[in-house]
Chain A
Amino acid sequence: QQPVQSPQAVILREGEDAVINCSSSKALYSVHWYRQKHGEAPVFLMILLKGGEQKGHEKISASFNEKKQQSSLYLTASQLSYSGTYFCGTEGSGNQFYFGTGTSLTVIP
């Protein structure tokens, strides 16, 4: 039931863009995105609800394709502070939350 994320890791230079994908084999009610810095707890970025619109957070936005049970996180003009591990979290009909395996993002000067 754990969603699948891709890529597993990505290295960017400051100012470059990146896309992180998340897909599930189960019907989804919502998709969450979190970022975790090394040694810290995950921090909420955004939620996309079934039937909802694409959401944004600073220069980070995301989309949710309900029919395909997929979500993508878009990071534009990346900054050094964007480095960390990104997790998608999916919520099914029972309100349980399952997280993906994570995507390690490293932004270099």
Chain B
Amino acid sequence: DADVTQTPRNRITKTGKRIMLECSQTKGHDRMYWYRQDPGLGLRLIYYSFDVKDINKGEISDGYSVSRQAQAKFSLSLESAIPNQTALYFCATAGAFTGELFFGEGSRLTVL
């Protein structure tokens, strides 16, 4: 099993729908991140969390919210999806000292 698991892997939805992307990890890491990837724009940070009570906005948090339900789980929500939120979303985790980020396999979201 993968160390960082994202669900769903693919999702097509309609404008205005609420969507939740889930991320769970078995690495025991405290730091978790959500990124979106768009062609030519690289990976942009949406939200990050250093523990259950510590959640921070990244550079493009508007239109998104997150929940850190436990050390191992970090969910990303789109309250009312819009077409320009169509993207590939990655969850990543990092340990406190090594700094290396471990990525999930990605969740491809299409908003029609």
Q: Classify the secondary structure of A's interface with B.
A: strand
- Asked if B58 and A41 sit within 8 Å, CB to CB, the answer is no
Interface residues contributed by chain A, number (CB under 8 Å)? 25
Q: Given B43, B44, B48, B98, which contacts A42 in the complex, CB threshold below 8 Å?
A: B43
User: In the complex the two chains form, what is the Cα distance from A97 to B32 in whole Å?
Assistant: 10
Interface residues of B in 22-41 (CB under 8 A from A): 31, 33, 35, 40-41
Question: Is A65 part of the contact surface with B, judged by Cβ < 8 Å?
Answer: no
Interface residues of A in 58-109 (CB under 8 A from B): 87, 89, 91, 94-102
- Asked if B58 and A96 sit within 8 Å, CB to CB, the answer is yes
> Provided the pairs A2-B42, A41-B106, A99-B43 are in contact, do residues A89 and B48 lie with their beta carbons within 8 angstroms?
no
Question: Is A1 part of the contact surface with B, judged by Cβ < 8 Å?
Answer: yes
Q: Which residues of the partner chain A approach B106 to less than 8 Å between Cβ atoms?
A: 41
Q: Classify the secondary structure of B's interface with A.
A: strand
Q: Which residues of the partner chain A approach B48 to less than 8 Å between Cβ atoms?
A: 95-97
Closest to A103 in B: B42
Task: Please classify how large the interface on chain B is, using the bins under 10, 10 to 19, 20 to 34, 35 or more.
Answer: 20 to 34
User: In the complex the two chains form, what is the Cα distance from A99 to B38 in whole Å?
Assistant: 12
Interface residues of B in 94-112 (CB under 8 A from A): 94, 98-106
Q: Which residues of the partner chain A approach B74 to less than 8 Å between Cβ atoms?
A: none
User: In the complex the two chains form, what is the Cα distance from A4 to B90 in whole Å?
Assistant: 20
User: In the complex the two chains form, what is the Cα distance from A88 to B6 in whole Å?
Assistant: 23
User: In the complex the two chains form, what is the Cα distance from A95 to B56 in whole Å?
Assistant: 11
Question: Is A20 part of the contact surface with B, judged by Cβ < 8 Å?
Answer: no
Min CB distance B15 to A, Å, is 26
Min CB distance A76 to B, Å, is 23
Question: Is B62 part of the contact surface with A, judged by Cβ < 8 Å?
Answer: no
Q: What are 7 A-B pairs at a CB distance below 8 A?
A: A2-B44, A5-B42, A43-B103, A44-B102, A97-B45, A99-B42, A99-B43
Binding site for B on A (CB under 8 A): 1-2, 5, 30, 32, 34, 40-44, 47, 49, 87, 89, 91, 94-102
